[in-house]
């Protein structure tokens, strides 16, 4: 199955040998099965500094990385997931972006953080750089309380999307709609109620902030329902990130979908900041949709 919004039939999974990175393999495997996708495993070996007489990169070599990735490959293929393995030398974020483009991967899956057992730290700052530069959607999977990542038992069931009234935030509706349709997921539309003083005179015009927010998300939900999708709304007085995280915690097997950034005069919701906070605090996977037309940074 291929989702038309993005080429999600090929998933890029960079791994650095850390427990945090390896913990997201079961989730990625389950997602690949649901999407009918193949997985491209990527290992990155850092280039040694050219101005130093000795190698201080940690001693990782292609043989160790290949052996590690081959074990993951066999594990995935045992569950009928097609897998390719690639090892590159260079800067982690740059190699991830280059591999995603060269292999036409429509989704990059990363852990929130990790410390390498076969080389230096690949994730953490790398995840942040990839999120900010990738032209493809990036799925960030956090570790659970025990440091692992449990795959959804019955598959994903809910998709959480945050809206603030801006066009940038609304751009996440396209992939939300397609993923929900293809995987038969319920859509939860979340809107945070801003402080009254942020609306100035608009608060009087709309009667109340909450009423305006509810009218907005209801219109979106009605359009989704007319398109044959199951949708419900959540409007609350918490901060945007708190409202999104609460909606996810209150839902069954959720996936959060957010755009990289957005801004609304009426809602004062800076989605760039919100997305960053949600990614760092979420206990559930977050799919980050890049702006339309983003090109790979040099």
The helix (H) or strand (E) run that includes residue 193 is none
> 65-108, pLDDT tens digit by residue?
899 999 999 999 999 999 999 999 999 999 999 999 999 999 99
Residues 108 and 21 in one domain: yes
In a domain? residue 4: no
How does residue 250 score in pLDDT terms, banded at 50, 70 and 90? very high
At 297 the pLDDT is: 38
pTM given for the model: 0.80
Residues 48 and 113 in one domain: yes
* Domain stops at, among 88, 107, 141: 141
**Residue (of 114, 118, 120) closest to 143 by Cα position:** 114
pLDDT tens by residue, 186-232: 999 999 876 655 555 555 554 566 777 788 899 999 999 999 999 99
The answer to whether residue 5 is domain-embedded is no
SS3 273: helix
Q: Return the number of other C-beta atoms located less than 10 Å from residue 147's C-beta.
A: 9
Is the pLDDT score of 25 beyond 70? Answer: yes
Q: Which residue has the higher pLDDT, 70 or 172?
A: 70
Closest CA to 197 of 209, 188, 185: 209
Residue 48 is assigned to a structural domain of this protein = yes
Asked if 62 and 35 touch (Cβ cutoff 8 Å), the reply is no
Boundary residue ending a domain (141, 171, 187): 141
pLDDT at 80: 94
Q: Is 93 within a domain? A: yes
Q: Which of 108, 146, 147, 105 is nearest to 128 (CA)?
A: 108
Q: What is the CATH number of the domain that holds 198?
A: 3.40.50.620
Given 141, 167, 190, the domain boundary residue is 141
Same domain, 130 and 26: yes
Q: Is the pLDDT of residue 237 over 50?
A: yes
> Is 298 domain-assigned?
no
Is 146 a member of any domain? no
231 forms beta bridges with 187
The pLDDT of residue 270 is 40
Boundaries of domain holding 207: 158-289
Residue 148 has a pLDDT of 53
Q: Are residues 35 and 94 in the same domain?
A: yes
Q: What pLDDT is recorded for position 150? A: 56
How much of the chain exceeds pLDDT 90, in percent? 38
Whether residue 2 lies inside any domain: the answer is no
Please give the helix or strand (H or E) that residue 100 lies within, else none.
helix 92-102
Q: Are residues 129 and 27 in the same domain?
A: yes
Q: How many domains does the chain have?
A: 2
Residue 261: its pLDDT value, please? 58
Say whether both 95 and 17 belong to one domain.
yes
Give the model's pLDDT for residue 256.
94
Q: Is residue 38 scored above 90 in pLDDT?
A: yes
Contact between 119 and 55 under an 8 Å Cβ cutoff? The reply is no
Are residues 172 and 84 part of one domain? no
What are 103-154's pLDDT values in tens digits? 999 999 998 764 444 444 344 788 888 988 888 999 998 876 665 555 565 6
Residues 6+ apart with CB under 8 A from 49: 56, 57
Question: Can you say whether residue 195 is alpha, beta or left, with left for phi > 0 and alpha for psi between -120 and 50 degrees?
Answer: beta
195 and 266 assigned to the same domain: yes
Predicted local confidence at residue 42, as pLDDT:
96
Give the pLDDT score at 123.
Answer: 42
Same domain, 192 and 113: no
Query: What value does the mean pLDDT of the chain take?
Result: 79
Q: Where is mean pLDDT largest: 19-33, 63-77, 159-173?
A: 63-77
Together in a domain, 87 and 60:
yes
Q: How many CA atoms lie within 13 A of 256 on its CB side?
A: 35
Q: Which residue has the higher pLDDT, 63 or 293?
A: 63
87 in a domain, yes or no? Answer: yes
């Amino acid at each position: 199955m291929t989702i038309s919004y993005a080429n999600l039939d090929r998933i890029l999974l960079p791994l650095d040998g850390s427990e945090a990175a390896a913990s997201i393999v079961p989730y990625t495997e389950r997602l690949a099965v649901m999407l009918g996708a193949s997985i491209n495993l990527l290992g990155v070996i850092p280039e040694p500094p050219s101005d130093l007489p000795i190698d201080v990169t940690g001693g990782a070599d292609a043989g160790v990385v290949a052996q590690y990735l081959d074990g993951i490959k066999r594990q995935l293929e045992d569950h009928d997931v097609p897998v390719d393995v690639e090892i590159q030398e260079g800067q982690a974020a740059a190699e991830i972006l280059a591999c995603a483009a060269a292999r036409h991967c429509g989704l990059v899956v990363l852990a929130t953080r990790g410390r390498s057992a076969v080389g230096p730290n690949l994730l953490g700052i790398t995840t942040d750089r990839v999120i900010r530069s990738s032209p493809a959607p990036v799925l960030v999977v956090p570790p659970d309380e025990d440091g692992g990542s449990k795959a959804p038992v019955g598959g994903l069931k809910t998709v959480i999307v945050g809206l603030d009234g801006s066009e940038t935030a609304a751009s996440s509706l396209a992939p939300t709609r397609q993923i929900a349709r293809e995987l038969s997921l319920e859509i939860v539309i979340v809107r945070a109620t801003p402080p009254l003083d942020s609306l100035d005179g608009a608060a009087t015009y709309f009667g109340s902030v909450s009423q305006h927010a509810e009218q907005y998300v209801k219109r979106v939900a009605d359009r989704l329902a007319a398109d044959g999708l199951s949708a419900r709304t959540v409007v609350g007085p918490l901060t945007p990130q708190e409202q999104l995280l609460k909606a996810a915690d209150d839902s069954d097997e959720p996936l959060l979908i957010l755009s990289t950034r957005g801004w609304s005069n009426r809602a004062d919701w800076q989605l760039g900041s919100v997305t960053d906070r949600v990614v760092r605090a979420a206990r559930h996977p977050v799919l980050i949709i890049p702006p339309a037309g983003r090109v790979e940074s040099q």
